């Protein structure tokens, strides 16, 4: 078995799943999702991307989950 980290991004368009090599890559991709969408959701510039990620559900009514999962090869 091999462990990977996935991001699940739930939004109005449905659900996207992004497999990532490790937690560091997943965190970077999650922050990129925040950066890409913060203008659409009018996230104030006073919040850092990391702060916005932590509060994403409350700010946007969307979810960004990061979790480790095992896959069978």
Q: What is the pLDDT of residues 6-28, one digit of tens each?
A: 999 999 889 999 999 999 999 99
Is pTM beyond 0.75? Reply is yes
Tell me the residue range of the domain where 44 lies: 2-71
With residue 55 as reference, give the H or E element that holds it: none
pLDDT of 40 above 80 = yes
Q: Is the separation of the CB atoms in 55 and 47 below 8 Å?
A: yes
Q: What is the pLDDT of residues 58-69, one digit of tens each?
A: 999 999 999 998
Residues in contact with 63: Cβ distance below 8 Å, sequence separation at least 6, in sequence order: 8, 9, 10, 56, 57
Number of domain units in the chain: 1
């Amino acid at each position: 078995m091999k462990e990977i980290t996935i991001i699940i991004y739930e939004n109005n368009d449905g659900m996207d799943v992004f497999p990532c090599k490790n937690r560091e890559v997943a965190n970077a991709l999650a922050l990129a999702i925040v950066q890409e969408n913060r203008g659409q959701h009018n996230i104030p510039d006073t919040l850092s991307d990391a702060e916005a990620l932590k509060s994403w559900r409350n700010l946007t009514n969307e979810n960004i989950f990061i979790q480790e999962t095992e896959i069978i090869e």
